[in-house]
Amino acid sequence: QMQLQESGPGLVKPSETLSLTCTVSGGSISSSSYFWGWIRQPPGKGLKWIGSIYYSGSTYYNPSLQSRVTISVDTSKDQFSLKLSSVTAADTAVYYCARLQTAGEAFDIWGHGTMVTVSS
């Protein structure tokens, strides 16, 4: 059974870069059947898709975050990562990584999420 686990600092200072990694276990990230995505949920708000990546490195970003987001993949480690630059308090959220099925076109496996607070 594939599992995803987010890791990274829980506290980031304003104007700095938020960095998170998602480790995939129980399967390979290098499958043509999946994309890999980042989704976040600010306190009291809904889910927001941040971006997705294919194992080949092709990336797709939310237009509202595109100028600050970089998603990368390390197939040798079965990991993909999120970098969000110039963060503000508005970036405080629970960040989830998830598997996106190309067949069912849905996020079918999620990590447990990690809370990131932007504060000095």
Which of 13, 14, 112, 117 is close enough to bind other proteins by CB under 8 A?
112
Closest approach, Cβ 67 to other proteins, in A, equals 14
103 burial level (CB within 10 Å; 0-12, 13-18, 19+): exposed
The count of chain residues that interact with other proteins, using the rule CB under 8 A, is 26
Residue type for position 29: I
**Is 92 a residue that touches other proteins (CB under 8 A)?**
no
Nearest distance, CB of residue 115 and other proteins, angstroms:
11
Nearer to other proteins, 6 or 15 (CB): 6
Closest separation between CB of residue 107 and other proteins, Å? 7
| Residue 15: strand, helix, or coil | coil
Site string for other proteins, 34-63 (x = CB under 8 A): -x-x-x-----xxxxx--x-------xxxx
Strands in 18-25's sheet, in edge-to-edge order, are 3-7, 18-25, 79-84, 69-74
CA distances from 57 to 50, 81, 93, 99, 102 (A): 16, 11, 25, 15, 16
Rounded CA separation 111/75 (Å): 18
Residues in 1-40 at the binding interface with other proteins, rule: CB under 8 A:
35, 37, 39
Coil, strand, or helix at residue 76?
Answer: coil
Residues that bind other proteins (CB under 8 A): 35, 37, 39, 45-49, 52, 60-64, 96, 98, 101, 104-108, 110-113
